[in-house]
Structure 1
């Protein structure tokens, strides 16, 4: 396990993807995947490559008409895009052996589950839609 801190918006996007939640419009990561597909490019692999405390770094390995490309990305965005596209997520072996990386946070202190987060996002979306309907 590699505990990576992410923001609430990133956690929401990741949870919605994990729960395969149906959204009325494409979320950013789905849009990104659709743009890559339109450009005949695929995400070959996501790699979590290093830790510069407290920040993890990732890259997207892409394959397209112009050949392979490597794109810098935040791990939260990279992992969510990997989930959307079905690409594998790899972690540098040395990083997994690094006690600083593996023990960076106590993940059990944050017990919110993906399903709970998705439920909250849906509730907020429904409330917003109801307010817009009344206006």
Structure 2
């Protein structure tokens, strides 16, 4: 089958996948805020809205400001946690499938927006770039689906100021022992087995399971033990996130970490790093699996 034929075959599948995820017609509504006014955020982790409450995705604002909770469904929470930790199911789940479909028809998911709250419901939008079209295509979406897809596709996430303000009022709790991302660094708890397998020192800290952007460029790599953030020891992944948030405004986060037998220091901007697609398969590093 030729490539054009494959694309013609995949186009209806894309439409069906969009309907399956609950997306509406692309022309169903306009963005409720100007893209230039929205704030780019970083997916940090998944939590719950109060004790026993519904799941929320926690989004970190740039400049070490607030962490914003957005309500999501249990399926999307699971997809986001799998994406953050690098886990993959034997067969593609819905968001992975849709990402593959977009690639198959030369469509790129560039941005997702969380642009409004109407009747206590968050509204979202996908922004696709299609080959041969100058203008992007925007598709109405549930934010939970859009954010999960953004993680797999490496799209940036932008939130309207009015949504940020409203979401700050939502109380949330982090989940224990789950991967957390900040500054492009993914951290997980470090167990005794991992400490022994990786030859880590007998010091408190959290395990770096992935790094991207400036952190990776500076030499931080999976398997490192993150010892300090701004002079404080992160004993849990959520504490790592809180310490990053406590970085004084206008200053860089100061990190100290152990890697390959040596301690290193690193300064990182608290801006949101450029997103990248989640890996299709978990990296071949069984020693750092949690």
Q: TM-score under structure 1 normalisation?
A: 0.74
Match of residue 58, structure 1, among 111, 119, 124: 124
Larger Rg: 2
Q: SS where residue 3 of structure 1 aligns?
A: strand
1:39 equivalent in structure 2: 105
**What is aligned with 1:91?**
159
1:107 equivalent in structure 2: 172
Distance in 1 between residues matched to 2:121 and 2:177, nearest whole Å? 23
The answer to whether the Cα contact below 8 Å between 1:50 and 1:95 also exists between their aligned partners in 2 is yes
| 1:124 equivalent in structure 2 | none
Cross-structure match for 2:148: 80
- Matched residue of 2:148: which SS? helix
| Contact 1:50–1:58 under 8 Å retained in 2 | yes
C-alpha distance in structure 1 between counterparts of 2:104 and 2:145, whole Å: 19
1:51–1:101 Cα contact (<8 Å) kept: no
Q: Give the distance between the partners of 1:17 and 1:6, measured in 2 at CA.
A: 15
In the TM superposition, what is the alpha-carbon distance from 1:112 to its structure 2 partner?
A: 4.8
CA separation of 1:113/1:90 partners in 2, compared to 1, >3 Å: closer, same or farther?
farther
Q: Which residue number in structure 1 is paired with residue 72 of structure 2?
A: 6
Unaligned runs of 5+ in 2: 1-66, 180-290
Q: 1:74 to 1:66 in 2, by over 3 A?
A: farther
Q: Which has the higher strand share?
A: 2
Q: Is the 8 A contact 1:58 1:73 kept in 2?
A: yes
- For residues 138 and 90 of structure 2, what CA distance do their matches in structure 1 show? 31
Are the equivalent residues in 2 in contact too, given 1:58–1:75 (CA < 8 A)? yes
Deviation at 1:28, TM superposition (A): 0.8
Q: Which one has the bigger helix percentage?
A: 1
SS in 1 for 2:77: helix
Residues 6 and 113 (structure 1), Cα distance of their counterparts in 2 relative to 1, 3 Å cut: farther
